[in-house]
Chain A
């Protein structure tokens, strides 16, 4: 059998961001893989040490588009932990609303892209059409379709008026039936099953070994969701079940995402129902003392972790974060092994990779 080494770039991988793969082929099957990141390395961790805490909220929101709310909210949580700031209850709920809106839009984008990769153009359009309900909700509430600018140290900087909450509730109602329909499609549609079921399998033992997180882990039967394991914000008062699938394949990962999107609708509804009155932000903020803190959240792609170290000045001594995609890339070695070349773009997109986040 002939052995060949090929290089794949973002165009061949159907990615909208640059990532390169060096793939070793045996015949037309993948034998090994080397991931070559760094094409959009911007030295962000270097930059954040030269910006004050407020500037960093804005900068971190621009780290990544699809999980743009998770970064500033987790960073703010780290600052609040160092300074002992308790955020108002209303702000906890509003942070959860922003996070869940972004989660639905992010998950649907991932499912849509995969439909496109396998040539299911009509489905791609349908998923993007459903996602558009979320995009418009973001536009109406936050004034922007991607970066919500919702967070500030000590709380949030947006509010939901009675009309705003009613509008969001209507949008959530409009999401239910399409999301249920999409779940059935990704679960049972024969055209999708033939491309996604049993493809790009990551066994549970390998998932543990590679320490993957988020829908990639939950698609392998690993019941881990930061919102449950390390509750933060309003999540200790919200009801939801961790979406878990056993297959470990492309289909399982998508079913986890679609189940989560549907649960996010319910989480937003719960937030709207429970939303307490009160301030949006702690009224006086203390000086940020010297210290260190860890903050974690469940971003759309999984566990996001921040470490902050301060020295009493208004700039971090060190701010480090590890995004969920970071480990998921390496696990592609297992998912791609033995797969035909034609399946590479689909499997790569099935981990919902984020390159801007990975490279920083």
Chain B
């Protein structure tokens, strides 16, 4: 029951989805399983939220270091969740004005929209923007043109950065038309459409083979690591 049922569920689901690709009559199965997947994923979010509550409440009740930040996390979590679940400040849909719950939970003006627009978007965008500094700093420390391979990588990155900025175009704008292919923006196009294409295509083929073999190992119950040890 603990190990056999999950193995059967895994194999059955996977093979049904594979078969549905080849049988016209079973085409809708794939769509249905995708819907089921989204529903179970929604329950997984509930599980994730419950875990978040549990961990941070424990931290607060034990007065562990940084419990104040846990309180902030929980407050933000609960406010966002309630704003979303109760569609706070969301107007009804234009087509169904008599139904007060018919509006979209992310409609402009709603509290969840406010949180998304003024908290979630700026925070996530700034966190990712910070990586610009760290990537540059890490590259400066790690990248050294010690051998041919490292030099090729550095040179390509340099060309791409120059080719995609106004400065790069300006530097080589004086080249005559007969040498136009040497302009940074044109070199970038050549790198992307020939050399990068070849490399990424080989990587993509390798990844595809990896995905296919890993999937088969899971569906044929050769790989059972997801079941845990007990």
Do A and B form a real pair?
A: no
A residues touching B (Cβ–Cβ < 8 Å)? none
B residues touching A (Cβ–Cβ < 8 Å)? none
